[in-house]
Amino acid sequence: MEKQTQQRANLLQGTLDMLILRTLLYGPAHGHQIGKHIQRTTNDFLQMQHGSLYPALHRLERKGWVVSKWEMGPDRNREFKYYRLTEKGRKRLVVEESQWKQMAEAVARVMWPTVPAPGEEG
């Protein structure tokens, strides 16, 4: 049971990592912008909580997939930590997207089969 819980956590963590990397493909953004982009893009289905988003950003930074820098915000009132995708992160995004597509296609084949199920006549 513990292994299954860990696998699910890895899947969710990997999915969040992929969504963050994909968001940063559009350009540098601070954490709040990243979370809002994911929320808007998914029609509010995915809502990024600080407790998930910021640890993920720090993890991606440790892996070298993103870099960060404190910069003055557009309003010039305060600084924000902006995250940027690295070349290593771009390469990782290609891998993550490919794996995600393979998994989604495999699940779709089971959920919406185009061939008869076992025991069914064609």
**Digit-coded pLDDT (tens) for 70-94:** 998 887 788 999 999 999 999 999 9
Biggest alpha carbon–alpha carbon distance for the chain: 69
Positive or negative, the CA dihedral 10, 53, 35, 27 is negative
CA distances to 46, 47, 101, 102, 113 from 52, in Å: 12, 10, 23, 25, 34
Beta bridge partners of 53: none
Q: Which residue has the higher pLDDT, 105 or 121?
A: 105
The topology under which CATH files domain 12-111 is Arc Repressor Mutant, subunit A (1.10.10)
pTM: 0.82
Domain residue ranges in the chain: 12-111
